[in-house]
Structure 1
């Protein structure tokens, strides 16, 4: 656990947690449940953008683009399935 926390920007985390935009919420689940939750977020009126932060950046971004987004109904036009 110590290695995982090395280099954490505590000031940045405190700022995010203290802003209206940074709820400090955490999404945990399967790729499918993450896609479902992302679809739900896309339906919230007034929400234009969402920022996801992955604990493992490269693999998280890769999974987002290749596994999660193709499962999202709200991305069907972009994914070519509409």
Structure 2
């Protein structure tokens, strides 16, 4: 179901590498308010890295994340703290 409303969480062009291993390469997703997201894939495909980037537990090397229409400054711990207060992760 598509909606024209602003997504609650949106990630665009996320990239994250650990040494020479690229865990995420140009990954984008959009999550609406009330929507649940299931990330499925084989071991080592970047599932946990994506979720950890969305919650600020791992800082992406590139890309942008917006929360409720506000861009999260990837290097600002204050932005991440505010985001974590409103987002749950299992």
- TM-score, normalised via structure 1 length: 0.36
Q: Write 1 or 2 for the structure with the bigger share of helix.
A: 1
Q: Write 1 or 2 for the structure with the bigger share of strand.
A: 2
- TM-score, normalised via structure 2 length: 0.34
